[in-house]
Amino acid sequence: MAFLVSRYSPLGIGQSLEASPSNWRLKTGPKKGPSSSTGVHNHASDLGDESPGAQSVSLSSISGVVAAALASACAVGISKRRRRGACRQRGDTLQGMGGSSCSGGSSHSSSWRGTALSRIGLFASDVAGNVQEAELDTGAALGSLSARLADLNELATRGDVPGALAVFDEILPSKDQLGIPDTMLYNTVLKAMSNSGDAVAATEWHERMRREGIRLNSKHFGKLIEAAAQAADVERAQYWFDESQGAGFTPTIVTYNCMLVACSKARRPDLSRLWLSRIRASETPADLTSFNQVIAAHARAGSTQEALGWIEKLRHAGLSPDAFSFLPLVEAEAEAGRDEDALRWLERMQEEGVTCDSEVLNIMYSRLVTVCGQEGRLRDAARWFERLGETGIAFDARSYFAMMQCCAKAGNVDGAMELFQRMEDSGLKPDVEIYGCMINACAQAEDTALATEWLERMRAAGLAPNVQVYSGLINACSQSGLADDAVRLLKEMKGLQLHPTVVTYSTVIKAFAKASRPDEGQDVLRSMIAEGVRPDSIVYVTLIDAYAFAGQPEDALYAFREMESAGFPMDERPHNGIIKAYARAGQPKEAVKWLRNMRQSSQGLLKPDQVSYSMAIGALCAAGIVKEAIALLGEMENTSVQVSTRIHDVALRSLLSAGKAEDALKWLRKAVKNRMVPDVQLVSTAIEVCLAGESLEEALGWLEGMEEAQLPPPKEGTAAAAFYSTAIKAWCKAGKLDKALAYLELAEAGVTSVQKGMQLRPCYLLVIPACVKAGDVQTAMKVMAGLEKARGGADLVARTEVFTGFACSGQAKKAEEVLQGMKRDGLELNIYVFGCVIGACAKAGKVDEAIRWFDFMQAEGVTPDLIAWNTIIGACAKAGRAQEAELWLGEMEATPGVTPDVVSYTSAINACAQAGRPDEAVRWLAHMQKVGIHPNTFTFSSTINALTKAGKVDEAIEVLEQMEDAGVKPNEAAYARIVSACSRAHRATEAAAWLDQMIAEKLKPNAPVFNHVIAACREPPNAELAERMLRMMLTRGLPPNDFSLGMMKRILGPERYAVLQAELPKLRLAAAEVLKETGLQKIAPERSESEARRNSAPRRDAPSAPRRDAPEARRNPAPRREDMPVRSCSEATGTWTVEEPEDQPDSSPRRPSKDRSSRSSRSPREEVDRRPKWKQWESLEPP
């Protein structure tokens, strides 16, 4: 059977045509090889009747001449190169068996040959040991027929169903005229379906043959069994076996071996033993292939000892094990990653006297390479490949093909190119399949241009691309989302008479899915149906996923219904597509509803899997519905579905993307409490969660726990780069530069990806600024050199960081040397480079250095942009150099090509406020409005600050009213400053009125604002107002501190204060209840206007640079609301602490320090340890 012949198998079919003056003999039989005892039939007779064995006809028997000619032209005449190429198209095939059909050995007549001869007019002219010539009355017709029959057989051998169907449609109209038997023609198409493993299509073709009255022979049923065996569908294979017997065909050893192959592929050793017993009960003796399949079934099921026992039973049956008896055991160990055990099996095979020539060894090691490649273990595959070379055996095309396939799957273009070169250097000529591997590698690496280059290189080598090559190119376009290019290639291959397969169409639909154009993917589906290509379930699932990715659940449901009506089994994949569609559409409850309806809609036969739950939980977390997500996780735990780390990883990432870092941190802690066993990916996510939740100690704990558990970090792909980037970020944030450098070294040594330089670039760009911040610029330069060596070129961002480090440390000469080096290496000294150093100097308070580099930038011919000007003005404002800030603003206004914005004027106004120049602040406010710049919240607030500091309360109130008239809503800081100013001016009633208005505007005053009003009630005394303010504080959940109570005692007097003091416990309890309901919000200390402006101002964006804001923010600055002073409560002592604003009355007490007495007696190890316990989960306490 064809599917039993391995890719590049040496065990193919040998055919020879012998002739004598009196007799023709077409001999068919297995080619001699390492396993010639397999006793299987050939493939040559698939096109004709099923007469087994050698066939002889006399020269006078013209039908024999026709049989020989047609068989030779259609089957035997296929060149060896074509046959090898056809064998390579078969994927997961079993070694150790020759190709054959499951013929039943019946002896139907071959009278059609005589009829064909009488119609075609063939005669033999000269037979002298070889057939030299065959003349035809209609020679052109027969030549064309033979060519098309040969093409049909080749396509069928490759498993190219669309191509075979197209050629079938060409031959069908003339089959009666030319005398081609129906059974032969239809069986050849069935052969294509069998070799492709499409059991469903084979079943449908069988029904068509029955409807059209085509005679069904034993080969027909053999191909049906073979198709089911290819698909590992034991039940379907059993059905066709029974049908074959019911039709009167006697099963042969090949038919039984087909059933054993189905059991082996399905990993059903119990059924394989049953079928072997049926062979023994029949008159047909079991052969070596039969036992090898039973051994393979046990090995694939993990029953190594039982497989070894069957090798002994094989010997007892009088047979000798060959290399393919041991190969399943070796494969099973290699698949499990136990390379040493696999090597021991190879050694044992040699010890038991099983000899292998170079061809068999290449087969065995190629299979081991393929097994590792399918598991994504590229390094293990490479080790097996090199071990073959260590045996002294020369690599053949099969071995190179297997290793290049592994590289292609991993997107390792450089590795595939190296193998290609080694193959050429060894004298082997790459064929179409090898070039196809190169194109597939480019596709996985999403390098469409390089894939196209390999196509041209293939054509230059004189090779014509086939369907698989074009499918690889289309896949490259699909990976890059180039849907239009994918359609162009599809049309191009049709123009070359190459028939797209269902996989090709599925890849085009996937391209439209990546391009977010699912409707055009639907058009592709309609087109393939119109062209006679039957969609499979993968096509429909791809279309459902396309609509799901676009967040179109209604269209996804329509595709779901289409798939259902087409009769495909509705397993978890289409259902998961609908859940994904609802999740991406922001309808998490609908996603959960569909998940729960899965079991009901299938009468309990279909159960949600891990993917179903992970998408539904992720959707709930992304929408912030954490409670329902936790409930769904609990529901999952009560089912048979295992709660994997992937579920937690999806939930955590969804919460992070929704900006719910606190919820993510809680989820993570609960997962650890429930003894979740993390993997490396989850560790990386956990560190991100801890950093986002500002729990640096926990982030470091995860890293330390990973080291203690000796959990190896990932070594390949983006996962490795993401892990190291996250880990280095944590160490840098903790200020542990030595650990960050150590992890960078681990990343350099451990990551084996070909694109390591680009993948690890974020790691380098985290370490370099950390070194600069620590003052170690020399180490930063070494790290920069390592990055540029890995990348193979200069890096603008890394050089800029080093340049900034030298500039900020006052090493101007070194900084200029770095700039000169950037020029030499072809890096452009642009505004980004100088903007970074100016911003860094300004942030460090080195105004003169910032100005120096600003002037240097202009001298280099780089025009300062808006951000550079604003940085200089802001730096002067922060340093209290108000007059310089005003001068820079004036110079900016006079410079053509740049116009001051609201940030520029706000910085100048804030500088005036800090320097006590209220009149200049008001002048700048009026000027900016005059030139058409609208002030924002920070601008007005800074002006109010300048006026209130100077005691100009009425002018400040006018600015506040002007602020409201301009449509700018005052924030807490603006009202707080007005209240503070009125309080200092002993205008308590007015201060209270402004406080009331602040509350009416739904703003939240903090405790210091109330304290200002209470303090203003002292002179003149206003006990009623003071007491009202205190009670208002308590009703808003703000318990008074010592300052408030001391001031109340002075205002109320001893007697009235005693009455109030008696009520305080009840009032405090009420305040605590308010806190419990609303939650205590931690608010950052009040910042200066310059600091707030800097935080709100946009920063310059670098190409691929981390820690830079998006350039859109530069055009639309959106300053954040000022934060209010901190208020917090020590649960241990019940002491409330308040950080007073900068304009707090002098009489108010300083903020008391937090009471740490409850922790002072603890040692560092006795404090609450939130780090995960990797080895002793039982001792883990909830945080």
CATH of the domain at 482: 1.25.40.10
Give the lowest-confidence range in 255-264, 969-978, 1070-1079.
1070-1079
Identify whether residues 568 and 495 lie together within a single domain: no
Task: Among 478, 500, 535, identify where a domain stops.
Answer: 535
In a domain, 75, yes or no: no
pTM attached to this predicted model: 0.56
Count how many domains the chain has: 3
**What confidence tens digit (pLDDT) does each residue in 1071-1080 have?**
666 555 544 4
Final residue before a domain boundary, out of 594, 622, 641: 641
The 3-state secondary structure of 994-1046, one letter per residue: HHHHHHHCCCCCCHHHHHHHHHHCCCCCCHHHHHHHHHHHHHCCCCCCHHHHH
Q: Which two tokens stand for residue 560?
A: 């779901």
Mean per-residue pLDDT, 745-754: 73
Amino acid at 980: S
527 and 470 fall within a common domain: yes
CA atoms within 13 A on the CB side of 1116: 2
| pLDDT for residue 1154 is more than 50 | no
Average confidence (pLDDT) over 330-334: 78
Q: What is the CATH number of the domain that holds 404?
A: 1.25.40
549/602 same-domain check: yes
Structural domain contains residue 504: yes
Query: What sign does the dihedral 155-156-162-168 (CA atoms) show?
Result: positive
Asked whether residue 524 falls in the same domain as residue 572, the answer is no
Query: What three-state secondary structure class fits 29?
Result: strand
Residue 139, pLDDT score: 53
Residue 134 lies in a domain: no
For residue range 359-376, list pLDDT tens digits in order.
777 887 888 888 877 777
Mean per-residue pLDDT, 197-206: 85
Residue in 485, 419, 416 with CA at minimum distance from that of residue 449 = 485
Residue range 1052-1069, pLDDT digits in tens: 888 887 877 777 776 666
Task: Give yes or no: residues 421 and 510 share one domain.
Answer: no
Paired strand residues for 56:
25
Question: ∠ at Cα 853 (852, 855), nearest 5°?
Answer: 70
- Same domain for 467 and 512, yes or no, is yes
Q: How far apart are CA 292 and CA 302, in angstroms?
A: 15
Residues 368 and 419 in one domain: yes
- Is the pLDDT at 9 greater than 90? The verdict is no
Residue 962 placed within a domain = no
Lowest mean pLDDT among 70-84, 189-203, 300-314, 876-890: 70-84
Name the band, by pLDDT with cuts 50, 70 and 90, for residue 1087.
very low
> 724 CB contacts (<8 Å, ≥6 apart)?
713, 743, 744, 746, 747, 751, 760, 763
Least confident segment among 295-304, 813-822, 948-957, 1036-1045: 1036-1045
Reduce the DSSP state of residue 232 to 3 states and report it: coil
pLDDT of the residue at 902: 92
Whether 273 is in a domain gets the answer no
Give the distance from CA 243 to its chain's centroid.
Answer: 46
The average pLDDT across 463-473 equals: 85
Q: Is residue 1142 part of a domain?
A: no
Q: What is the dihedral of CA 512, 514, 516, 518, to 10 degrees?
A: 40
Q: What percent of the chain has pLDDT over 70?
A: 76
Task: State the pLDDT at residue 89.
Answer: 36
14, β-bridge pairs: 29
pLDDT of the residue at 597: 82
Amino acid in position 389:
G
CA atoms of 22 and 734, how far apart (whole Å):
95
The predicted model gives 1161-1178 an average pLDDT of 34
- Residue-level pLDDT at 1108: 31
Q: Do 402 and 386 have their domain in common?
A: yes
DSSP character at residue 1137: E
* 51, part of any domain: no
Q: Is the pLDDT of residue 574 over 50?
A: yes
Q: Which residue has the higher pLDDT, 1129 or 602?
A: 602
User: Is 620 found in the same domain as 609?
Assistant: yes
In whole angstroms, what is the distance from residue 186 CA to residue 578 CA?
Answer: 39
At residue 414, what are phi and psi to the nearest 5 degrees?
Answer: -65, -40
Confidence bin at 128 (pLDDT 50/70/90): very low
Do residues 110 and 51 touch, judged by C-beta distance below 8 A? yes
Within a domain: residue 73?
A: no
Average pLDDT over residues 128-134: 36
The Cα–Cα gap between 928 and 1074 comes to 44
Provide the residue range defining the domain that includes 530. Answer: 430-535
pLDDT given at position 1068? 66
**Percent with pLDDT over 90 in the chain:** 8
Residues 579, 559, single domain; the answer is yes
Query: What are 878-928's pLDDT values in tens digits?
Result: 888 888 999 999 999 899 888 999 999 999 999 998 888 899 999 999 999
Nearest to residue 392, comparing CAs of 412, 365, 372?
A: 365
pLDDT at 466 over 80: yes
pLDDT band of residue 1153 (cuts 50, 70, 90) is very low
Same domain as 451, residue 516: yes
Count of CB atoms situated within 10 Å of the CB of 108: 13
What the block records as the tokens of 146 is 């033979």
Q: What pLDDT score does 178 carry?
A: 62
Place of tokens 């595939």: 416
CA atoms of 76 and 83, how far apart (whole Å):
10
Of 153-162, 311-320, 1134-1143, least confident by mean pLDDT is 1134-1143
Cα of 91 vs its chain's centroid, Å: 25
Give the dihedral sign, CA 475/478/482/484: positive
- Looking at every residue in the chain, the average pLDDT score rounds to 74
Helices 717-733 and 680-692, packing angle to 10 deg: 40
Q: 551 and 628: one domain?
A: yes
pLDDT of 870 strictly over 60: yes
Hey, which residues does 28 pair with through a beta bridge?
15
What pLDDT score was predicted for residue 1067? 66
Report, as an integer, the average pLDDT of 336-358: 76
For residue 1136, is pLDDT > 70? no
One-letter amino acid of 32: K
What mean pLDDT comes out for the span 124-130? 33
pLDDT band of 39, cuts 50, 70, 90: very low
> Is the pLDDT reported for residue 1011 higher than 80?
yes
The winner for highest mean pLDDT among 47-51, 164-168, 413-417, 851-855 is 851-855
pLDDT at residue 107 in the model: 33
Three-state SS at 245: helix
Which H or E run contains 30? strand 23-30
Using CA atoms, how far residue 920 sits from 807, 924, 972, in Å, is 33, 6, 24
Of 641, 658, 687, at which residue does a domain stop?
641
CA distances from 1069 to 360, 776, 1027, 1034, 1130 (A): 85, 54, 18, 9, 15
What pLDDT does 629 receive? 85
Strand partners, 675: none
Contact 647, 636 (CB under 8 A): yes
Give 805-847 pLDDT, tens digit per residue. 888 877 888 888 888 888 888 888 888 888 888 888 888 888 8
